Every structure is written in C-alpha cells, then in structure tokens.
Amino acid sequence: MAKVAIVTGGSRGLGRAMVLRLGKMGYNVVMNYVSDSSGKECEKNLEELRKMGVDGIYIQADASTYEGCETVVKAAVEKFGDKIDVLVNNAGVSNNAEFYKQDHADYEWLIRVNLLSVMHMTRLVLPYMVEAKKGNIINISSIGGLMGVINQADYCATKSGIIGFTRALALEYASRNIRVNAICPGMIDTDILKGVNQDELNALAATIPLGKIGDPECIAGSMQYLIENDYTTGVYLTPNGGIHMP
C-alpha cells in the first residue's frame, strides 16, 4: 500500500518539485490550491503522479484558515484512509514591502498563510501520526528565518517562528517516533524570478558563493533526505549556495 503525503502550496515552484519527488518515492500526494490557475497546475501534477504509478488529489482550500486546513485533511483521509505518513508545510507568501507602509491586514494575512497554516495543518495531522506511532513533518522556512532581509520583516518573523515551532515539536514528539524538521531555502529559481531582468539575475547570482541561483530540485532533494534519514529530527537544512553559513 502506497504511503500518503500532504503538501500545502503544492501547485508550482518548490511545491511542485516536492510533489513530484514524493511521487517518485512511491507516495500518493494530496495538494491544496486557492486560485483557479493553481488548480490547473495541480491537475498537471496529478497527471505526472499517475504516470509514475501513484495517485493524488487536489482540493480547493485556503490553508490560511483552520477550516481550509480541515478540508484538506478530511479529503486526504476520505481518499486514502486514516494514515498520513508525511506532511510538508510549504504554503507561503511575501508582501515585499517596507513594514510601516503596510496595512495591518497585510501582515496579518501573511502570518496566517506562513505560520498559522503550519500550526493548523500540524495540529490536524498529528492525531493520525500519534495513532500510527510514526510520522514525518517537514516545514518550509527560509533563509529569511535565519538572517534579516530588507522589506521582509513580516516574512522573516514568520519564517523564524517556523524554526522555533519545528524544534519544540521535534522534542515533544520524538518519543512517539514522529520526526519534525525544516528546510530554509536560499534564492531558488521559481515563478517569483520569472519577471526579473536577466542582467539583474546574473548580478544576484554573482553575490552567491557558488555563483548560481538554486533549482527547486535541490529543495526536493533536501526533503527526501529528511524523510529517509530516520535519525534526524529538530534540524533545519539550508540549501543556499553559501550565502549564509550558520
């Protein structure tokens, strides 16, 4: 019987890379989406999963709300049974704005998406993992959770919060064979960079010691390592090309 994974924000970018890597690893994958365009991307992911011989579903649900997270978990259980092996909390957004110029609604929304979704999804999935006496939770933080980034104060706050949440949960659930880890990506080639001028991208890459912007596959590889290495919990991996060395 195939194992089951949930990936929030799994339609494109880092999420897509991790969804497809999970498929290659033999997992059935549950994805959520909000916009219609993201739903179409999830459909593409599902087609690829089925070509690999596994299955999946995608659900229109807003992970920034508890009700949306409930919808995702209920759909997963209805489709694949009451066993959830892996949870990847990947949903995330950025306001990219000077902090005092933001309306409070802007950073409250960001906190709901980036941090509260992680807490909600984890709260809802943990009972299944506790019952199974095993589980794997991977939280996608950011290099912004390790260092300051201009115009990203709210974003950095949530990503730091994810690291603290990860460490505390890892201690809390280690005795129940549930591992909790995080990934803190650096600059990765996703849709966010598609509109950036090539010269600007080259200049940005030149500031990275390895001299290049990362590929989403390196994040998928980090996820796979954290799933397969059963002696790793409470850590964060930070694939960032050497721009930050903790």
List, by residue number, the catalytic residues: 155
How far does Cα 101 stand from its chain's mean position? Answer: 28
Contact in structure between 57 and 46 (CB atoms under 8 Å): yes
Question: Amino acid identity, residue 77?
Answer: V
Q: CA–CA separation, 225 vs 214, rounded Å?
A: 17
- List the beta bridge partners of residue 4: 28
Q: Which two tokens stand for residue 113?
A: 């998406």
Q: CA–CA separation, 211 vs 208, rounded Å?
A: 5
What phi and psi, each to the nearest 5 degrees, are found at residue 237?
-100, 140
Q: Which two tokens stand for residue 56?
A: 């999946």
